[in-house]
Every structure is written in C-alpha cells, then in structure tokens.
Amino acid sequence: MATAQRQARGKGPAGSWQWARTAQTQRALLDAARAVFTEQGFADASIADVVERAGSSVGSLYHHFGGKSELFLALWQDCQQAQEADASEAVARARKAGVTDSFELFSAGARAFLEGCWQRRDLALLFYAGDGPPGFEVMKRRRGREWLGQNDALLRLSDTSFDRLYATILTSLIGEGGREVAAARTRRQAVQVIDATIEYVRRLMTGGPAGTLLAPGGRPPSPPGLDSGAAGGF
C-alpha cells in the first residue's frame, strides 16, 4: 500500500525515487555554484559558501562532484549543453519550416546561441573571464574545436585549409559576439549586438569559399545539400 501511494504521488519505485533525489541534489549544488561563482569568481569562492547556499553538505558536494574545480567544470558543461541545445533546436525548426538557405540556417543557430549568451550572461561573463580551475582553458579550446567541426558539417565545407580558416573565422565571430552580448548593459543593447553579429556573418558568407555559399545578391545560386541530422554549431 505504501509503495502504491508513493507511485501515486509521482515518486515511483525506490530506485527512481533515489535517482530523483540525486538529480535534485546535483541541481541544487549547480544552482548554488552558479550564484556563488558569478558573485565571487572561482578563485575567491569557497565550498562552504556553495553548500550553505544549496542547503547541502560538504560531503554531498564531494560525493556528487569531487570538489570545487569539478563543480565549476560541471557548471560549464551544463551551460554548454544548454547553448548547443538552443542552437540545434533553432536549426531544426528552420529546416522543418522548409529553410534550405545556408545563411538562414547558420544564422538561425547563431542567433539562438547569442540569445542564450544574454539569458545566461552571468555564466557567460564568468567563463569568458578566464577565472577557472587548472585545465579549464584546455577544455574550452577542445570545445571550440568541436563547435568548429559542427559548423563545418552544417555548412558542408570542404577539407581544405581555406575552408577551415573560413569556418574558424565564422565560429570566432559568433564567440566574440557572445562575449559582447553578455557584457551588454541592457536587453536593447544586446539585441543590437546580436543583429550586428548576424549582419557580419551575412557579409562573410556573401561569396563564401569558392563562391559556394552566398552570391553577391545575398542568395545561394545553388544551396549545398545540408544533412538534416547535422547539429548546430558555434
């Protein structure tokens, strides 16, 4: 009877209940870490401040994350996954609506990424500041290469040094645009930066590598076939 009552309340069997509690604890610690790290910076933040904010314990933090550095990296990865999901979903929606224009697909993902930088501006500023644990910059560079590879797939660029450079420039432009969006003082200013960044993307894509992306008129003479399963990038 007790088990049935727990399931009726949405708590499920003991195993799923324990998993739910674990996920809830992890989320509480990540949310607390977000508040503490963005207020104090990584170097000055203490584990004691995080667990107090989370209503948890030092032992629980070490159990779930391993320590302060690991908690910071987990927060960064959580943010990255949210940013990637925003971009990928925007590209998927555009494709579902029948969009095949390479600029429109790329800019849809880029705009979603940039909007995420505004919505998560506290985290964006924290991660752009470079105040992180040892190994963080290496992880950021590795993640940057992953974004670059995804943009290569989205734009169907060839494996040449010129196309790799082109993809790097586009990806870097979006990244720097994200930094400026996060630093904007108002929503209006952030929108202006987003619009300007997308305009710079359009100009870069006019002509494209070997003229394959956008013709001078701003439309692709023959859009490259984009794989419907390709992820968003940036």
Encode pLDDT of 43-53 as tens digits.
999 999 999 99
Mean pLDDT of 116-125: 96
0.85 cut: is pTM over it?
A: no
Least confident window among 21-30, 44-53, 73-82: 21-30
Residue 215 has pLDDT above 60, yes or no: no
Residue 112 has pLDDT above 80, yes or no: yes
- Of the pLDDT bands very low, low, confident and very high (cuts 50, 70, 90), residue 86 is very high
Residue 189 has pLDDT above 90, yes or no: yes
Q: How far is CA 3 from CA 6, 7, 19, 63, 183, in A?
A: 5, 6, 16, 28, 51
- Of the pLDDT bands very low, low, confident and very high (cuts 50, 70, 90), residue 156 is confident
Least confident window among 70-79, 138-147, 199-208, 213-222: 213-222
